[in-house]
Structure 1
Amino acid sequence: MIRNDLQDSTCANVISFKGGATVSRAKPRNDLLVIELTIRDVDVARVLIDTGSSADIIFKDTLEKTGIEQSKIVKYPSPLLGLSGETTMAYGSINLAVKTGTVTRVTEFLVVDHPTSYNIIMGMPWLNTMRAIPSMYHLCLKFPTPNGVEVIWGNPRVSQVCYAAEQKRKRPDLEITPRKTEKKISNQDSQSRNRNRKTDSRLVTAQTLKPRVNLGLALNPSHWSQTSQRHDI
């Protein structure tokens, strides 16, 4: 339910996306939108924005790391069907205060005890409550507030790391090298680099992130994620 004060004060806000918003990115790609949110005063990284999910999902391991009491979970088993066709049982549900920018909303999460690369999956219920509009091209999320439109930016690097960890978990024999950031260099620098360049054999493995399921996710080789330096749980 939208509060009357928020509804009246934001009706004039226009949410738009400009091409220049991608100027800081070498080249827009098909990255997944992974952001950071605050749950009960704890900054939680690796939060996937999934417009194909009909539920907001938090993983049991995330609750443990944030220090949220398990007794707060209302236990009732319920099946979740992913796009891949697999069924996962939700452990129960829990209501948590989620802060995004300057806006805080109490959100009902389904609790899932299953391995995946993300801490939280925010689906359509939360997006609708926030009246938020995600743009995968601009890799950001915009939403109206009484003081205007606010923006939460995704982190391509965390997206890459999450994807690499997810693929490594599924296929331990698979080697994945993260994309290198594109930079403009002169022809002379390019020739010098080609002569001296050595192959970087370092891989982002599942050890980077503790593996956690593909619930409503369409992970493919063009989808990557990032790591946060603040309370990365």
Structure 2
Amino acid sequence: MGKTEASDPPRKGVIRMIAGGPTGGDSQRARKAQVREAYGTTVKEIMDVEPTNDAPLIQFDQEEHRGPRIPGNDALVITALLANYEIERVFIDSGSLADILFGEAYDQMQLGDIPLETVEASLYGFSGEVVYPRGMISLPLTLGTFPLRKTYLLRFLVVDIPSAYNVILGRPRLNAFRAIISTYHMKIKFPMVGGVGEAQANVLQARRCYIEAIKR
């Protein structure tokens, strides 16, 4: 369960795309078991879905559109709190099954007191190369702005490859937040007790990341 917070905690600092990963388990056997479980519980999941009668209505108004002065089809890049660090350049990738914390950002966060878990799963980049993670770490991720924000403890793969981003947030964790994404409005919204939380994308960050990515 995600949690809401009674106060805005102090920041520890500011830390200025992909398939694979252990979402289905960290072994071939575990991934096959997940497929069997999906077939066996589909009906039950539909029947036991969380009631939404009390959930706030999530909608995007035309007034929220970024406007004609900032045209384009930019990636959704936000700033989020990760282990109380303000992390810029968080790429929202609904096509990814893995949550990635890139090695350079991980090193800047100085999380040596939290041991990395060994992981056998590999990742496959857009060009088909195989990437083996340094390890996995569980960290609290917070989306939204106080007081309408939500925190979940997520498991990130720490990956040592060059990237214009610090973090990639994939589809399973977006679903955990019950997040609704609008690339037209450049915004994420998610239901909360007492309202709707949201995270606004940073268009300038997105364009800087794009320029850096094509230079690599």
TM-score by length of 1: 0.65
Confirm whether residue 94 of structure 1 aligns to residue 146 of structure 2.
no
Evaluate the alpha carbon distance shift between residue 70 and residue 113 of structure 1 in structure 2; reply closer, same or farther with a 3 A threshold: farther
Q: Any runs of at least 4 consecutive aligned residues in structure 1 with deviations exceeding 6 A, and if so which?
A: none
Q: Choose 1 or 2 for highest CA Rg.
A: 1
The structural deviation recorded for 1:126 is 1.1
Counterpart Cα distance in 1 of 2:66 and 2:191: 23
Aligned residues: 166
Evaluate the alpha carbon distance shift between residue 152 and residue 70 of structure 1 in structure 2; reply closer, same or farther with a 3 A threshold: same
> Is residue 150–residue 197 contact of structure 2 (8 Å, CA) maintained in 1?
no
> Is residue 49–residue 121 contact of structure 1 (8 Å, CA) maintained in 2?
yes
Q: Name the residue aligned to 1:220.
A: none
One-letter amino acid of the structure 2 residue matched with residue 126 of structure 1: R
Confirm whether residue 18 of structure 1 aligns to residue 61 of structure 2.
yes
1:109-188 matches, cutoff 5 A = 109-169=156-216
Note the aligned Cα RMSD (angstroms): 2.1
Gaps of 5+ in 2: 4-49
Evaluate the alpha carbon distance shift between residue 98 and residue 71 of structure 1 in structure 2; reply closer, same or farther with a 3 A threshold: closer
One-letter amino acid of the structure 2 residue matched with residue 58 of structure 1: L
One-letter amino acid of the structure 1 residue matched with residue 208 of structure 2: V
Confirm whether residue 74 of structure 1 aligns to residue 141 of structure 2.
no
Q: Alignment partner for residue 107 of structure 1, among 138, 148, 154?
A: 154
Counterpart Cα distance in 1 of 2:82 and 2:192: 19
Superposed CA deviations along residues 42-86 of structure 1, whole A, max 9, x for unmatched, are 101000000110011111211111121175210223211234433
Q: Report % sequence identity.
A: 36
> Is residue 2–residue 152 contact of structure 2 (8 Å, CA) maintained in 1?
no
Counterpart Cα distance in 2 of 1:48 and 1:129: 17
TM-score by length of 2: 0.70
